[in-house]
Structure 1
Amino acid sequence: METISRPAALVRQGSLKLYSTSLKVSDLKRPNFYTISKLDPADAGPGYQRLLNDGRAKRLADYLIDGQTEHDAFLPTSIFLATNKDISFDPATNTITFDVSQIGPFNVVDGQHRIAGLVLAAEKNADMLEFEIPVNIAVNLDEISQMCHFLIVNTTQRSVDRAIEQQIVARLTKMIGLEKTPTMPRWIRRQVEKGEDARALAVANHLNDEPSSPWYGKIRMANDEGDGGTINQKSFITSLRRHIFSANNPLSNPVWDGNRPLILLNYWKAIIELLVDGSETQTVIFKTNGVELFHTVSPTVFTHLAAKSDFKKDTIKALLKRGFGNLPPEHIGMSHSEWWHRGGAASGLNRGAIGKLANALSLAMNVQENASGVQL
């Protein structure tokens, strides 16, 4: 048996039951004592943790080893562990007792870098095995609650990567009607209930995973360590939320949830066929500037298409082509593929310039013609 007994204080926060205690590094190193439920960008499972930063863990380990030598190693911040089981507590002695093989592995809700640094330090200096670390252990906490608490800890106390936040919020949006969720800060709950992250991720995942998509493999999703991709998930999702889900865009209506990814796929296919000349790896279309400009223009595009109930690629292509043809001379460059080549005019755009170009293209698409083809 891998039984551990430790002095502990029982802490109740609403329905959350915590035991505040301490553990030795030797406890952390026990087989199957803890696990880290990492967010997998290719999986919709329950994972929520960011990837371990090995450099950060090594820097902590080096500090701890140096401090242990001088007997002044200092790491007061507690680790947050969680289990969906209960732990035996003796109120007479204020002691918790548990068998690791029955209770473990604990999920690390907060503190994975501290644990990694401690374990690494102990591998280099056996004296670190006796080093104690403050620990809060939450019991009877299911996986969705652990995910929520990770989000709360890492957004109310210190920042977590926005892409990971988007993924977690999207998953909570899908679960909130099916699972019981703990109380969350109002701004997080509003974000979850609004559902924009989930709907935007559905678009991004479809564009990134569909082999016929011009965006196939070009969006670097959260926790994706590969070198591929021309834009990261955070930027792409932020742009979708800002422009596709804006009040003036017909596609913001939830009625389009099922077809929105297909409509956006047609939209980007039309853009690429008009503006990419074959050297697509050298075009700014697939970078933030291209995404921002065409997402900014999209309310005008989809207002025209919704009026006709026609979202086919060729219809979109014809509308954009008409807009390019009506551009004033000072903006006509963006209708040519060379203008979008990396290192060219499109590469140096700032947000203000992107806004002016998008406005010019929107106005050009709204130009009406009479039966004789004369602009009105």
Structure 2
Amino acid sequence: MTLSVHPFIKIQQREQNFYLTNLPASIVSSISYASVRGRDQEKGAVQRVLNTRRISNIKDFALNGGDFPNSIVMNWVKPNISIDEKQNILSFEPEANSAQLIDGQHRVAGLKEAIAEHPEFGEYELPVAIYIGLSTKACADIFLAINTEQKPVHRSLVFDLYEIADEQIVDQAAARARDIAVELNESGAPFYAMIKFPGEPPRKGGVALSTVVTAIKPLIEPNGIFDQVGLSTFENQSKAIVNFFNALKSAYGAFWFDRQNAFMYAAGFAGAIDFLGKRIVPYCVKRKSFSDTTIRSSIEISESNLIFQKELSGKGGTEAQRFVFNRLDESFISKEAADDYEF
């Protein structure tokens, strides 16, 4: 077996040393493995069971030109590695199961699938942090430091960056949902200046961009609710959503931009979008119209039954969203009776 030799940088952090190097994806995928807590009894077992959907997404991300700048973190468990700290060179025989994966198991599994589909991808170089012979406690400490203390950026920033990021690595449905959020936030639109984009000062009320994108995305992704009824273009999808909220705005009148309007908060917005997909879309398809007038004709809302934020007090996110949906459903005046169907 050919010896694999690589330069490294030694890092000292408190009691632990680790070695930063770069390894080809083919070597990383062949020498490493995930040791799952609760399933594997060996020392250092801190990982979770692999998510196959996530692996497939990472494979596609890799093959579409995505970058992997974060280090794969390994705990080397076999005695087949040699560290020359004078020359800053490490060498090892690339044997299977040489190193446990502390962080990056889904990336490695996705890259392995990418290599199987395109073998030349095996030369793709990855940054790797190598610990040697860690205890289970030490592995757990590192795993938790990465996955709890080093928290990912807020989703609103991620979605906002889709506007300028490379098309190959952008979630297209999320990017379109962001564009619809911009439409909803324009002057004269139903959420004018009420959608909170990154960089804005904190304020009470308003809906975070992440909430808007997360709520809208299932409607507009391929084979989503809109796609199934022929609303596939950005223009039609955007108009349908804007018209829906304009219909609600019309019903609320002067109370629409009131700070107590439940739709100006996350649960209200998400509950309304849920109602749009499940009730309004079928109603509009049957009538071949998504105009705000058509939508308004299906909802019987007056000043006596407006939904205010104080009604959601004490309710959790999912419960509050369901409450808004149910209140809208009570106002929906076009539920089809069973006698209307042919069997």
Normalising by structure 1, what TM-score? 0.44
TM-score by length of 2: 0.47
